[in-house]
Amino acid sequence: MKHNILILFVALAAFSSCVTQKEYQELEEQKKYYETEALLADSLRNEYNKLAEESRQLEIELRNTRLDLEQYVVTNKSLQNSYMALLDRVEELKNDRNELDITASYEKYNLERQLSDQQLNLDDVRKRQEGLEYELYQKDNRLNAMEYDYSNVKGALQERNIRIQELEQMLNTKEANMTDVRSRLDGMLSRFSSSDLSVEERNGKLYLSLSSNLLFPSGSTRIDAEGKRALKELAGALKNNPDIDILVEGHTDSDGSALTNWNLSVDRAVAVTDLLVANGVNPERITAAGRGEYLPKAPNNTAFNKSLNRRTEIIISPKLDELYQYLEGQ
């Protein structure tokens, strides 16, 4: 286009000597018009090239987005399959639990009947024994009867002493475990402020209280860096001791609706539980629970008291399964 305008300009220069002044001016105006059109055409061409490049980039992005979307679809389908498998497993566990409940109820009924029959037999035996003892007494054999009774009592006392020693040993072991855990928790206290972390012992259990400011941003269930550090250190104190039970309780203040607070406390308790498990604590020993606003440490009437109520409590108690089993077996 510029080349054509140059030719036109040369032509105008060549013929300027043989045209009138008016014609020359008209030719000059045409020249300016074509120059303007040429500049406009160049501008449009540049804009077109720019749009073409942007279109090519958009096509690349669209192709990459389509590939990502296909990958998301595959991942989502895999997650859905895993979720359905988990639902099936939960249903199986429910059925197993129901069967166990039915079996346990039937066995309990049978045991109660057997116990009742044995009690009747025992009463008969006792009556016969009393009759024999009376006959022996009548035959002046009281001394042998007393020696027999003494032997029985002595054996019972020996068995009782053995049981007492075994129970004391088990209780001492569990007390030593709790003492070790308390010692480790006391070591943590020096590395955190008392307003963020505190430990107290009540009724043989340890109550570890972690403030909401230490663990979570306001209204969030995401544990921040300082909270993760505290829970990681706590997991190190708990994971090597299998003889304890751990209850994680989430608590809130009374601001907002009770349902929202309840759900927040549950989600926070689950988040803390997940992090402890991720750092090596046996999940079979942990229970997560939400308490919402219903177990406050202080009345929700000041900002300070509300900050005390926004907390996560980790309750550590000795595992008593083995002790209960021992007692039930006697």
Which structural domains are found in the chain, ordered by start?
Answer: 174-327 (3.30.1330.60)
Residue 213 near residue 164 (C-beta atoms within 8 A):
no
Instruction: State pTM to two decimals.
Output: 0.50
* Cβ count near 186 (within 10 Å): 11
* Cβ count near 234 (within 10 Å): 24
Per-residue pLDDT of the chain (330 residues; tens, 9 = 90+): 545 555 555 555 555 556 688 888 888 888 888 889 889 888 898 989 989 898 899 889 888 888 888 887 888 888 888 888 888 888 888 888 888 878 878 888 888 888 888 888 888 888 888 888 887 788 877 778 777 776 776 676 666 666 666 666 666 666 777 888 888 888 888 888 888 899 998 888 999 999 999 999 888 999 999 999 999 999 998 988 878 899 999 999 999 999 999 999 999 999 999 999 999 999 999 999 999 999 999 999 999 999 999 999 999 998 765 555 555 655
Nearest partner of 319 among 236, 231, 238, judged by Cα: 238
| Angle, alpha carbons 278-253-228 (nearest 5°) | 20
Residue 272 near residue 314 (C-beta atoms within 8 A):
yes
pLDDT digits (tens, 9 = 90+) for 271-326: 999 999 999 999 999 999 999 999 999 999 999 999 999 999 999 998 765 555 55
* Cβ count near 133 (within 10 Å): 15
Q: How many residues does the chain have?
A: 330
